[in-house]
Every structure is written in C-alpha cells, then in structure tokens.
Structure 1
Amino acid sequence: MQDAAQRLKNLAEQLVGAPLPVRIRAWDGSESGPPSAPALVVRNRRALRHLLWKPGELGLARAWVAGDLDVEGDLYQALDAMAGFIWERDDDARSLRQALRDPEFRTAVRSLLALSAPFLPPAPPPEEMRRHGRLHLHTKGSDRRAISHHYDVGNDFYELVLGPSMVYSCAYWESPDGTLEDAQRDKLELVSRKLGLKPGMRLLDVGCGWGSMAIHAAREHGVSVVGVTLSQEQAAYARKRVAEEGLTDRIEIRVQDYRDVRDGPYDAISSIGMAEHVGSERYLEYARDLYALLEPGGRLLNHQIARRPQADESAYSVDEFIDAYVFPDGELAPVGTTVALLEKAGFEVRDLESIREHYALTLRRWVANLEAAWAEGQRLTSPGRARIWRLYMAASALAFEHNRIGVNQVLVVKTPETGASGLSLRTRDWRG
C-alpha cells in the first residue's frame, strides 16, 4: 500500500491535472514530491477532514489556521508555486464535479475518505468570523463588528508587525533598501501635499487607525484634524499618541462611523486604506457623504486597493480566506469602477497614481517583522491569528508583485461652479 504522502500527492494531481510543484510531508513521516521544493506539511488527519468538509480555499484556510497544515521552507516560494492550485483556478466546484466523473479519481477520493477517518466535521478555528447569512452587509452594526474583528486584536501585536510608525497601509518607497519608517513618513507627506494642507485648514481623516496621518498633518502642516475610526482599541491608542505629541488642541479622535460625521465642511479629507471596507452597494453613498462634507474646492485623497476587472463582473466573489479570517465583508473593485463612482458623486478626478509595487515591499517588511518575533507575536494574540497574518501578508505581497491586485491614490476635488480647482497648472507640484 502507498504511504500517506504519495496518496495525497496522487489525489492532488488528479484534481488539478498537473504535477504537484511542492513536496508533501504527511503525519506518518512519509514524503513525496520534488526533493528541492518547499514542503507542504500535513500534520494530521484532521487537515484532510477540513478539506473534505469544505473543499477549496476555506478548507485550506481552516487547516492552516488550526496548525494542521504548514509550509516548511520559503513561504513565498511555496505560495507562488501553489498559486495555480488555489487562487488562479477558475472554479473549485466545477473542477471537482468534472474530476468526480473520472473513475480513478473517485477511487482516490474513497481512499482519502478512509485515510481521514473518523469522517466527522472538525470545528472551525475560533479566529473565524461567525456569520448568519450575508443579507445585511455594511450596516453600521455589521461594519463595526467587522472592523473590531480585524483591528481589535491587540495594539501590541500591531506594534510588532507595523513598527513604530503604526501605519497600516502601503508605504511609499524611494528605494527597496530604505527603511519602513522613512517610507511610511514619505507616504503621509505625499498625501499631505496632494491635499494641499496648510496651517488653519480642517482635515477629516476617515478610518484614522492609530492616528499617524492625523499627527503628521497637525505637526508638520499646522492643520486641525478630526480622525474617525470604528475600533475602540485604535482610538484609545491614537488619543494617547496625540497627548504625548502635545496636539490635543488640534486633533480630535472619535469612535464614529463616517456616515455620522455632521460637523463639516472640511477643507480636505484623507481616506487611506478605509474604502475597501465600504462595500460595492454602499460605495456611491460613501462618495456622496464625503463630497457633502467638503468645502467647495476641497480635496479628497482616496487611497484604495483595487482588483483586476473580470470578463464577467457578475461572477465576482470575495476571497473565502480573507472574508472569514482577515477582512470580513471587505470588497475590492477595479480602479475604473471606483473612479466612475467618485465622478458620479460629483467629484472631479484630478490625479491617479498607482503604487502597486510599493505595497509588495511594505508587506514583505511586515512579514519580516512578524517572523523575527514569531513567539512574541503568537503570545500577543493567538497562534492561529499569528498564522493568519503571516499567510495573508505573504500571499498579498505576491498578489501585488504579480499584478493580481493593485493600490491607487485617487485625488479628487469638489470643484466649485466657477471651475477653479485650486490646483497648480503643473499638478504634480501639489501646490494650490
């Protein structure tokens, strides 16, 4: 009889119709596959039960988070090699139905069922976001729960991953050899210059995180800032930083939904890495709300991750791993869709800058920070959540590198009836 690793390898290759690009190491110590390739470690039979009860990405995610599935060797190399098996496949369900017509494959599945016994459904890891349907997405309550799931996992954990800047969005690199702190400072300054911030102006920072943009804008440009977040932990941390900087007279941090901000008008609005949480059905409302909060001539800088457009947009579905474990209810849209909705809300689009490669560099630094303090990272949150963050950040870095997703800064203006945008003739001087 074949050992467990060989049987698993044969089944995987029958399903995808191609040689397995990684080794498999099974719980019985057996190995099969290319000797020099990274190893996919199947630690126990429960990993198989996760996959059998939830075929596809969610089953893989549950096995990974639970620690039943692991990678030995270079994680980036392993994820790159397995991309065609996971993220780049057209339809897991269709592939499975086609494979089940093959008598040899059905025999292999029966063998796998026997190998995974007892065939009982394993409980999902506790880090998984629990839902009762998706009928009420992006209400204020559901958004608050989703944000808490992702951000309220411990400020100390985020300090370990993000470093002293505490900026959880794409940095802006002068060179791949630069420091993360310099690149994050340069990103905040780039946003400030695009917004044309000057002393005496009012800035609304939507999704203010741990307060980094608010502090930079107030300290370096003399503006008054209102920062809003739905995370209690972020708000407490940001207020402490503001007090330590002596900026309490110029910065107010609120736990507030952007839809509840009523004290406009503002001269400028920054939205950095927040719009991904808005949802497609709410995006026009988001754009119109921010438009209403701006003075005529005011600017919005919308910094947002984008996905590639699909031939059939109606077939788009969210990533199961990301939705269950990372950003519940988050949605990505093509940049063209975002620009069209901003224009529909009344904005004039003045500049769009893609900084896709910058996010890959940023994510690799975050992964390195986590890996360098792995034991501490697990202690600060949980072993499962540390595994989630390592996998999602490494996989996201590869997605940016291979142009599966991108990130863009879109500068828009609430242009007054006179048509005077307030921008210089050479826009990228970023002076009003």
Structure 2
Amino acid sequence: MIESTLPATPTEVAGHYDQLDRFYREIWGDHVHHGLWITGKESSDQATRNLMDAVVTRARLKAGMHLCDVGCGYGQTSRIIAREQQVKVTGLTISPAQLRYAQQATEPGLPVEFLLRDWQHNNLPDASFDAVIAVESTEHMQDKARVFSEAARVLKPGGRLVVCAWLAAEQPTPWEDRHLLEPICREGRMPSLGTATDLVRWMTAAGLSVESSDDVSLQVMRTWPICAWRFIRGVITRPSYLRFLLDPKHDNRIFGLTMLRLWLAYRTGAMRYVIFQASKSGAQAGADEIRYPL
C-alpha cells in the first residue's frame, strides 16, 4: 500500500473538493468519475455512462430496492439510477459544495436523499441497504478496513457491494512510488492507495464474498489526456483559471500537475483501476483472482 507523506483528514478532503468545485464540474462533469471506453469509439460522455452502467449491472438493482452511494459527488449517478432503476438512493458526501449542488440539481419527487456525512462514521442503520456502491471514493478514506466493515454492516443479507477503485500496482518501482504514486496521494488528498490484493483482503475480512475483480485500467486511462487538455484549454481561454493557479491561498492548485502524473501513472502501469463486485452472503467466487485485460 502506498501512503501519503501528508495527512488527509475528512476535513482536508472536503476542502479539496470545495476549493476545486468549479474545476471538477467543468473538467470532469457532474459525474466526477472516469470514463470506460469499451469500443474505443465512444465520446467522453458515452464512456462516462458506460462506467455507470457497469456499476449498475454488477449491483443487480431491482425496482423498490434501497441503494447507498458512498461518495456521491454531485449526485448525478444517484439521480440517474433512481430515475431509471426505480430504486431509492441515499448519497453521502463530505463536501458542502457538492451537497448543495446535488440537492439543487435533484428534481422534486425523485427518491434520492443526500447527506453530508463521513462514510467511516455514517451512523446509518444496520442491514438497511440492498446495495452499496463506491465509485472512486474509498481512496480518500484513512481506515480502509473500516470502509468495508461498514459496507458489510449496512447491507442486508444477500446485499451487493460494487467498488470502482484507483489502485497502486502490486509492485511499483521505487521511481513510480516516489514520483507518481505518493505525490498523487498527497496532491489528491488521499491518505493511501491500496493494491487490488489489499482490497480483496479487506473485503474478505469484513465478511464479504468477492465475486469478481475486473482490471479496466486500459479502458479508463483515456480520461486523463481528455481532462488535461480541458484544463490547459481553460488556462489559455479563461483568465479565472490562471488567477486560481497563481493565487498562493489556493493550496489545491497543484491539481493541474496531478492530472499529468495520473496520465503517466496509467501509461507506465503504476496506477490500476479495478471494478470489484462482492456480496454479503453466498458462495465466494474468484476472491483471490484479479482479472487483467490481455
């Protein structure tokens, strides 16, 4: 596991997203997660939708179920799932800016509730959800074992967990650790980056049966050159971007460099992206096997 050399408390993570609120929405969009290119011909919007669909498929949602979206961001994934799958959704974020936007963007009558709450201390009732999803949010949490024990606690018997995770390679080189992975953790306000093996171990220890672990790194890596280009274009065409970067009071302005590190980390294989599917009960399948693309 790669650990940041600086602390990343929930307060600091929330501050990161609040300070970069405008940039995240303009560069990443309301979903704030990677795209998944299946054919390679998709637009960035289609690729973003592909990733959400991959999560929905693995969660096996049915009308009337109750879903928890851990680290819901601006709530776009929660809204689409509630609307299309006809399930009730509870979304959690630690960013006040994200919470305000999520609540304002949700149409009346949609069965979606957004809470300003740290997942590691969520106070949600035991066995209250049919499914839990965490799309690129577990990286920001310090106690990884607790992350998954909380998922097991709030899931109903037979409930499903789907996690899309940024990960470190199993054996990164010292150069990759020093110049890519640790700075990505530090600059992105992530306490640590686990490996795929780490996450399987934490889920299994929490009593979850890991059914699949699909490495889709090659299919998501196109996200970063797209984001980097959008950022560079913003710096050139929007004076507010440059003012933000030059203002020393913005301690998250380094994120422009972080995007380039992420791009390189995927290109070198130091960074991995894996979609995990697990359940609270049932026969375990493939818990010790990580499937990598050819």
Q: Same fold (TM over 0.5)?
A: yes
Moved over 4 A (4+): 316-320, 375-378, 384-387
Counterpart position of 2:264 = 398
Is the alpha carbon distance of 1:371 and 1:310 closer, same or farther for their aligned partners in structure 2, counting shifts above 3 Å? same
**Is 2:164 the counterpart of 1:303?**
yes
> What 5-or-longer segments of structure 2 have no aligned partner?
286-294
Deviation at 1:329, TM superposition (A): 4.2
1:170-207 residue CA offsets vs partner (Å, 9 max, x unmatched): 21113333211111111111101110011100000000
**In 2, are the aligned partners of 1:172 and 1:358 still within 8 Å (CA)?**
yes
Matched letter for residue 87 of structure 2: V
1:299-327 residue CA offsets vs partner (Å, 9 max, x unmatched): 000111111234999xx779553354x22
**In 2, are the aligned partners of 1:176 and 1:361 still within 8 Å (CA)?**
no
- 2:244 corresponds, among 382, 387, 409, to 382
Is the alpha carbon distance of 1:173 and 1:372 closer, same or farther for their aligned partners in structure 2, counting shifts above 3 Å? same
Counterpart position of 1:228 = 92
Counterpart position of 1:341 = 202
Counterpart position of 1:350 = 211
Greater gyration radius:
1
Distance 1:225 1:274 in 2: 17
Deviation at 1:378, TM superposition (A): 5.6
Q: How does 1:15-414 map to 2 (within 5 A)?
A: 142-143=9-10, 145-163=11-29, 166-243=30-107, 246-248=108-110, 250-258=111-119, 259-264=121-126, 265-279=128-142, 282-310=143-171, 319=181, 321-324=183-186, 326-375=187-236, 379=240, 382-384=244-246, 388-414=254-280
> What 5-or-longer segments of structure 1 have no aligned partner?
1-132, 422-432
Q: Which structure has more strand as a fraction of its residues?
A: 2
Is the alpha carbon distance of 1:412 and 1:331 closer, same or farther for their aligned partners in structure 2, counting shifts above 3 Å? same
Distance 2:271 2:210 in 1: 21
How big is the alpha-carbon RMSD for the aligned residues of Structure 1 and Structure 2?
A: 2.7
Aligned residues: 271
Residue 130 of structure 2 aligns to a residue whose secondary structure is: strand
Deviation at 1:392, TM superposition (A): 1.3
**In 2, are the aligned partners of 1:154 and 1:233 still within 8 Å (CA)?**
no
Q: TM-score, normalising length from structure 1?
A: 0.58
Residue 152 of structure 1 aligns to a residue whose secondary structure is: helix
1:104-162 residue CA offsets vs partner (Å, 9 max, x unmatched): xxxxxxxxxxxxxxxxxxxxxxxxxxxxx96xx57xxx21x221232112533222211
Deviation at 1:405, TM superposition (A): 1.0
Is the alpha carbon distance of 1:312 and 1:393 closer, same or farther for their aligned partners in structure 2, counting shifts above 3 Å? closer
Deviation at 1:233, TM superposition (A): 0.3
